[in-house]
Structure 1
């Protein structure tokens, strides 16, 4: 994989470029929304794994020795896409977490990909190989993916006729218990989630959900990943970790939520209320401090900073409070060290992280992909990842698909159980609309 080749082609929408390969194991689309520049389409990996005694070591082994990229190319120029379930955290702290039927870490290595430049409105085919000739052949093969066609019509009607929410009263009771434990000094904050479950309608598949979400409420970290017997559809707004080849780290934790308003006046008022909320700012700052502590494990002293706090970012159904934490990766440290030091994401666990995870494990069934991370890790040392919120995990069951989505809220000392339950319903609204309307 020492050589890299780049070829360009006219613009195509990345979602529809993926359509012919929607059922292919390890077909993947990472699609940006808003002002993001790059989306990626990947298929035909040359190596995969989904079980390893040390998943972090297995990730490094799959990436191999660090390789230079083309400075004129996209940020991701071949490498690994990984799906880390929340329970990968058990390999960081031995908490004896129960498991779902999702592996802790699934990874696939791709020697070729299509990168979609939303700013320049062109497609870049990337090929990797041991020689210039092999790299160019792989880039040409990737470019040919654009010639494939898909004649399946978009699914019409509700994708899921019966979407069942977990018990609202039980959730409020769990929140009240967490508040008591916070007041008692056990923890400062914990993220507690509810589940929505159902089945896709006959004739519908996970790609139909992905396209509907992209049309209705595009998010910065939209993603589709097809695995053997499983699929992941994510509409996440949240970055987990970003690393550039020079070692600059960025994380952007989200804490603090308000629904969008009925009209512009109410919408602005809700955003202003979020920005002014002492509770939400304190909740956000706790997670900023947690992420600073996590990054300090793999960063030189003094390099961890928080250049932006409490920025309101608005999405289709909610406003969020977002902060930015930066650092530098210490000499000799790897992307696997960074992931191990920071996983699971602080924004969906709590503080202190380990004790919050113990509280979560006592109140929720295993999470699987929810609150884990979907990431790409480049051969050149670059890395980017999302927090898997606003995410649906789908498992093939006979001739159809069963699905689960969750939405959580960060619980602090002055949390109101009813208000936190309403927050989960605001967060699930876009997924619920795409599934049921």
Structure 2
């Protein structure tokens, strides 16, 4: 098999003809420095669906990768030239943490596939690499309207605020230090609309470095994630893993002065910096399970990252892997991501299971495991899970906030609504301000 260099095609346009094909997959980068490549794959060589109790999802991923990457004389080849793609549901953690987590109806612990033919889109050099003989589909330029008529909360605002207050009380009793608590929304796509319509609208309005669309049998994933969970690559002969947890959020504002003030407020917030630091410590502990002693360190702490709808604080934790540890073992050591569980992790997960319905794909991970050992895995925040039935597609999405001892329930609720704004608009065309005002009227 070879790599052929082709002229540039927009990844979304190339994927559009495959919108109804099961196992068609697009990992879409926004072209930022840490997210140079997008990948489009279809017609996998092998597929896996692992339901609860069906086995170890991380071992199943190991069976989809090869020891050696595709060799080519193309300069600057992509990190992923074939291998496994895996969607781990949040509750897959119960497979190894001995937690009796309830499962989301319709979602297995793992969807996975092996792809040997794919297109890699180089956003920096504006070229497409056809790998393994892949032939690009004839591109289309979809322009869908809002695919859903309603964006319905699964519980009233007061219920979410009560859950936050309960976590604050448990923190006060010393049960835990932090937990990420989410609220959920659900609905149906209009008849004739499909998940790719949502993906197109979402990525056009709010690009992200780890966006993804995956058309699965009877299900689909649409993600606009800004967060890398784990990346694994070789640097000067050393296999290095990095985690980039995001904690701390402020909404964007159309007025530049007000927007800058919100960003500054975030960087100076003791509460948000402490929240981030707790997760950094948790990720240091997780990576220490698979890294050489003394190599785990913090490369960046509380760095400001700005996206179209929110400001975030991001940290970077890195370490050098022990010989013999592969990408699935790294995933198993750190899953689910600490930024969306809390600390201590297992206790936080128990609290989450008490206060929320099962999450399913939201806050699980989507991982690309390349032949040869490299990996890029995202945290599935800003993510919609969709299931197909006789009436079409029903969707569900969530947004969470890290709850600490200083959390104010109403402020945390507003933070989740800021995080979900782009998905809300992509689904319904609604403005966040309209929804907040509607919530306020409902609370009077």
Is the 8 Å Cα contact of residues 34 and 218 (structure 1) preserved in structure 2?
A: no
Within 5 Å, give how 1:194-233 maps onto structure 2. Answer: 194-233=183-222
CA RMSD of aligned residues (A): 1.3
Q: Normalising by structure 1, report the TM-score.
A: 0.93
Within 5 Å, give how 1:161-310 maps onto structure 2. Answer: 161-165=149-153, 166-245=155-234, 246-310=238-302
Whole-angstrom CA distance in 1 between matches of 2:387 and 2:9 = 30
Residue number in structure 1 paired with 2:44 = 45
Residue number in structure 1 paired with 2:10 = 13
Deviates more, 1:418-427 or 1:54-63: 54-63
Is the 8 Å Cα contact of residues 180 and 402 (structure 2) preserved in structure 1?
A: yes
Deviates more, 1:78-87 or 1:53-62: 53-62
Within 5 Å, give how 1:13-412 maps onto structure 2. Answer: 13-35=10-32, 36-51=35-50, 52-67=54-69, 69-70=71-72, 72-100=76-104, 101-127=106-132, 139=133, 142=134, 144-146=135-137, 148-150=138-140, 154-156=143-145, 158-165=146-153, 166-245=155-234, 246-412=238-404
Deviates more, 1:165-174 or 1:402-411: 165-174
Deviation at 1:66, TM superposition (A): 4.3
Deviation at 1:155, TM superposition (A): 2.5
Q: Which digits, 9 at most, give the CA deviation of each residue in 1:200-222, with x for residues without a partner?
A: 11221110111101110001111
Unmatched runs of 5 consecutive residues or more in structure 2: 430-444
Whole-angstrom CA distance in 2 between matches of 1:386 and 1:232 = 13
Other structure's SS at 1:106 match: strand
Q: Which digits, 9 at most, give the CA deviation of each residue in 1:315-370, with x for residues without a partner?
A: 11110000011111110111111000000000000000000000000000110000
Deviation at 1:431, TM superposition (A): 0.3
Deviation at 1:149, TM superposition (A): 4.9
Runs of 4+ in structure 1 deviating by more than 6 angstroms, as ranges, are none
Q: Which digits, 9 at most, give the CA deviation of each residue in 1:54-75, with x for residues without a partner?
A: 2211211222444464474111
Is the 8 Å Cα contact of residues 69 and 380 (structure 1) preserved in structure 2?
A: no
Count of residue pairs the alignment pairs up: 417
Is the 8 Å Cα contact of residues 39 and 118 (structure 2) preserved in structure 1?
A: yes
Q: Normalising by structure 2, report the TM-score.
A: 0.92
Is the 8 Å Cα contact of residues 69 and 82 (structure 2) preserved in structure 1?
A: no
Unmatched runs of 5 consecutive residues or more in structure 1: 128-138
Is the 8 Å Cα contact of residues 284 and 323 (structure 1) preserved in structure 2?
A: yes
